[in-house]
Amino acid sequence: MSIKVLFFGGIRERLGVASTIIALPTDVLTVADLRDHLAAQGDGWLALAQTKNLRAAVNQTMAAMDLAISDDDEIAFFPPVTGG
């Protein structure tokens, strides 16, 4: 499965990247699984696990962390308050 992941606010700043396209292992099935998979890369990626009240959107619709993800989805992660 291949997806596009977007990062906003402080998460984007810590990562130094606004987006990435990644191929996921078969055990990454939900938004929470994706967050954990990315956070396991360490360093700046830990921001995904450490951000309190992390928000997510799947295909530009707000999503719960237990929402299943599919091939070609676009998942965005952002802190609860972002600047413009």
Q: 21, 34 in Cβ contact below 8 A? A: no
Report how far apart, in Å, the C-alpha atoms of 29 and of each of 10, 34, 40 are.
25, 7, 16
* Homologous superfamily in CATH for domain 2-78: Beta-grasp domain (3.10.20.30)
Q: How much is the pTM?
A: 0.91
Residue pLDDT, tens place only, 2-58: 999 999 988 999 899 999 999 999 999 999 999 999 999 988 899 888 888 899 999
Place of tokens 């997806």: 3
Domains of the chain, residue spans: 2-78
